[in-house]
Amino acid sequence: MAETDTTQADTLIRALQRHGHDVDHVTTGHDTLRTLEQADLLLIDLELPDLDGLEVCRRVRAAGPTPVIAVTARGTELDRVLGLQAGADDYLVKPYGLPELLARMDAVMRRAQPTTPTPPVIIHGPLRIDTAARHVTLHGHRIDVTRKEFDLLHLLASHPDTVIPRKRIMQQVWGDIWSRRTIDTHVSSLRNKLGTSDWILTVRGVGFQLGHP
């Protein structure tokens, strides 16, 4: 997040953290560009002290596909047009409500995620996940899982060698209705049903990964 007003930034950081997001805060355009590789999504105030926010948006877009939401007091139609033309994926005028910001973040992240075909059946050792029937079996025995437990396990199994960040799990499985404890509760339940915590590995500070028991 690039925001020069530290009071506003602190308030927003706390709110986003309550909703499961990890937030890094910078106050200049140059720092924004230096930390860009670490960001899944950039919230940028266009009033930055060293570089104009529109120029930062252009450089971010030239550097790659990182989603950008301009969050600014510049509210005219021309400002919006210039922001979107500079590379912002969305444009939000201050003051705004947190629910609207979260909804826009979810929408932008969904559009940014590449779509890849999902195999009808995912087999991972003795674990078998039938996508169409939404059945999970382990060593040939049916495992009863809830709808969200299936979605969570299916997401992890679809990317078996990848650590899936918490916020991506929350966005893809729960959309914009969740709390930080929701994912931990479902992971714990799945581990119990699968008989070992080794099936879902916690990567501290990042997210979760399918294991190899």
Three-state secondary-structure class, residue 128: strand
pLDDT above 80 for 179: no
Mean pLDDT computed over every residue of the chain? 89
- Average pLDDT of span 52-81: 92
Show contacts of 177-182: CB within 8 Å, 24+ apart: 178/19, 178/20, 179/19, 179/20, 180/18, 180/19, 180/20
What is the mean pLDDT of the segment spanning 83-97?
93
Q: What is the CA radius of gyration of the chain?
A: 20
DSSP 198: G
Between 197 and 181, whose confidence is greater? Answer: 197
Cβ distance 75 to 93 under 8 Å?
A: yes
**pTM of whole model > 0.85?**
no
pLDDT digits (tens, 9 = 90+) for 14-59: 999 888 888 999 999 999 998 888 888 999 999 999 999 999 999 9
Digit-coded pLDDT (tens) for 107-140: 888 887 655 556 789 999 999 999 989 999 999 9
Region 160-182 average pLDDT = 78
